[in-house]
Amino acid sequence: MPTLLSIKGVPLIGLYIRVTEDVAVLGVRERKAEQFLRQELEVDVIRTTISGSELVGALVAGNSNGIIVSNHVLSKELERLKRKVDVKVVETNMTCLGNNLLLNDRGGIAHPELDEKVIEEVSDFLEIKIARGTVGGIKTVGMAAILTDRGALLNPNATEWEIKKIVDVAGVEVETGTVNFGSDMVGTGVVANSKGYIAGEDTTGFELGVIEEALGFLGGG
């Protein structure tokens, strides 16, 4: 059975959670979310705000080599993160790094206006190639798609050019689709790694089928 979740009655779970292969950063005290993350995605859960906000999915980016936060992160939050994972703090006014970066362990796409210095720092720290791009014409690529080491689900308006760039940089096959009963901001409604996924509570059966195919989970494989 697919795992469906809402947080505070809201199905936009990708705003509150950022997942890599090894850890999940969770911005709220939510027992069911912690349980699902441990069971379905097989990760350690770090419960903390980032820059005082619960919307950690929007504020944190990362992959298996570590996570990235902006210089607005609070010292106590940084301490919590560093107990479980390597952390890089970057100076940027575009503090919503989870919105502005779409990453896996092979590569990633960055908001077209993200500072070149920030892209270089992130690329060096996470040991991946990052290209500028959009998804469905949307600059906040981290909210317009979900990307893992097994696959990607992109905003349904993604163009052939955008798809080709993600395939080339991230090294995965991709599909396009929606979540949460027609939402095209895919990254707000799914959290996933190569071991599993959790979808927003309003996601339909048809949408779940597309998610499973896109992220490589059809047939339980």
**Which residues form the domain of 48?**
10-220
Answer whether residue 41 is part of any domain: yes
Average pLDDT, the chain: 97
Residue-wise pLDDT tens digits, 2-53: 899 999 999 999 999 999 999 999 999 999 999 999 999 999 999 999 999 9
- pTM for the predicted model, two decimal places: 0.97
Q: How confident is the model at residue 1 (pLDDT cuts 50, 70, 90)?
A: confident
Answer whether residue 67 is part of any domain: yes
Answer whether residue 5 is part of any domain: no
Answer whether residue 86 is part of any domain: yes
Answer whether residue 2 is part of any domain: no
> What b/e sequence results for 92-112 when a residue is b if at least 16 CB atoms lie within 10 Å of its CB, and e otherwise?
bebbbbbbbbbbbbebbbbbe
Name the strands in the sheet holding 4-5, side by side, starting at the edge strand that comes first in the sequence.
4-5, 196-200, 190-193
pLDDT of residue 219: 64
Give the chain's domain count: 1
Answer whether residue 143 is part of any domain: yes
Answer whether residue 81 is part of any domain: yes
On the question of pLDDT at 212 being above 90, the answer is: yes
Average pLDDT over residues 111-127: 98
Bridge-partner residues for 87, per DSSP? Answer: 67
If one counts every other C-beta atom within 10 angstroms of the C-beta of residue 173, the result is 14
Q: What is the CATH number of the domain that holds 85?
A: 3.75.10.10
Q: How confident is the model at residue 156 (pLDDT cuts 50, 70, 90)?
A: very high
